[in-house]
Amino acid sequence: MLAIGCASLAFGSSIEELEASGHLHIESALTPQNGIVPGQKVTLTLEIATDRWFTGGTRIGIPEVPGLVILQTEQFASNASETHNGQTWVIQRWTLDVFPQRAGDFTIGPIPLQLKMNGGEEGDIQGELHSPARHFTVAMPNNLAQAKQWVAAPLFSVRQSFDRALDNLTVGDAFEQEVLLEASDVLAMMLPAYEIEKQPGLAPYPSPAVLENKVNRGETLATRSIRISYVAEQPGQFLLPARDYFWWNTQSTQLEVLSLAEVRIEVGGVAAGPKNTATTTRSSSQQRLILLSSLVLLVVALRLCWLYLPRLPLTGLRVRLSKLTRQIRALRQPALANHLNPGNSAGD
């Protein structure tokens, strides 16, 4: 009984007692610790080490600090084991991404951690402990202060493409422009937008930007894809101006400028007026009907002449021709009345 009681005291009957007796340690660290600029990612690492073992999941309370965006992008801990003085320790490492939005001094206070562990003879014990607070400073370099917006990342790229050649356009043609921005260790919502300049005669139709964040082994790749459809409404020359994007290279700690080249567009031709399909179809039908009627009349006239002219006496030729003319004119009359139910006012 005495041995069991001593073991219970050694292990502790609560999370606090495990920490106080040296069977549980919680540490925190910031990377990087200095040279941080606004918008740059800072990694806060929480390390939980014990010579016992974890019997349940760990829950982390994300703090709210004015001027900081703190996110838990990794949903699982990095697990490891180490040996100290012949004793095996189990280690959990959790990471939080911190993005400062302005220059200044910041403090991330103690972060609550909900833990569940083996407590020896006491069985499973659970409770809440807090990580140590961390302080850091965010500064604005002089050359960066001149930029209105920038991307602070180890990698950043900007490119554009078009779905067709732009050197042989006419009025009514359409083309699509795609602008793709990619950066590592930032969030897609932090990538700059693409401002569209409206020009008379060239109508833009932008689609909503597509934002995507990919996380692979602690590294974040953010993309912002912008698609814009243009329709040439008037002939002339148009210009998509060059765009500059400021990049604070966190590896070289230098400011760089990435540019999209200007694009010149020339549209030729004259805009064609809208066609009335119903009117065109009706005119074509009338023309075909007139042509067909004319051919029928010609055939009938030739046939009558062939049958009757050789038999006509010279004295009655003028009378016969007059009668024939009246018959031909009768054939040209329409088969239907101009109005349905002629003579009835309801037919109008």
Choice between 106 and 195, residue whose per-residue pLDDT is larger: 106
Flag the least confident range among 78-87, 186-195, 318-327: 318-327
> Which band of pLDDT confidence, cut at 50, 70 and 90, is reported for residue 157?
very high
Q: Give the model's confidence band at 6: pLDDT under 50 very low, under 70 low, under 90 confident, else very high.
A: very low
- Of 110, 138, 166, which residue sits at a domain end? 138
Is the pLDDT score of 314 beyond 60? no
**Residue that wins the pLDDT comparison between 341 and 100:** 100
Q: Does residue 36 sit within a domain? A: yes
Check residue 177 and give its pLDDT.
94
What residues make up the domain containing 167? 144-268
- Please check whether residue 24 lies inside any domain of the structure: yes
Question: Would the pLDDT of 242 be above 70?
Answer: yes
Statement: residue 143 has pLDDT above 80: yes
CA–CA–CA angle 75, 77, 79 (5° rounding): 155
Q: Is residue 236 left, alpha or beta, with left meaning phi > 0 and alpha meaning psi from -120 to 50? A: left
Cα–Cα distance, 89 to 104 (Å, whole number)? 38
Q: Confidence class of residue 86 from pLDDT cuts 50, 70 and 90?
A: confident
Statement to judge: residues 10 and 134 lie in one domain: yes
Quick one: pLDDT at residue 311? 55
pLDDT at 181 over 80: yes
Longest dimension (CA), the chain: 157
Q: What is the mean pLDDT of residues 155-178?
A: 92
Residue 113 has pLDDT above 60, yes or no: yes
Residue 273 lies in a domain: no
In a domain? residue 28 = yes
Residue 297 counted as domain residue: no
H or E segment and range at residue 28: strand 24-31
305 domain residue, yes or no: no
**Whole-model pTM over 0.75:** no
- Residue 203 confidence (pLDDT) above 60: yes
Report pLDDT for 268: 85
Give 76's pLDDT tier (boundaries 50, 70, 90): confident
Please, which residues have CB within 8 angstroms of residue 121's CB and are 6 or more apart in sequence? 4, 7, 8, 11
Residue 32 belongs to domain with CATH number: 2.60.40
304 pLDDT exceeds 80?
no
Structural domains in the chain (count): 2
Check residue 87 and give its pLDDT.
87
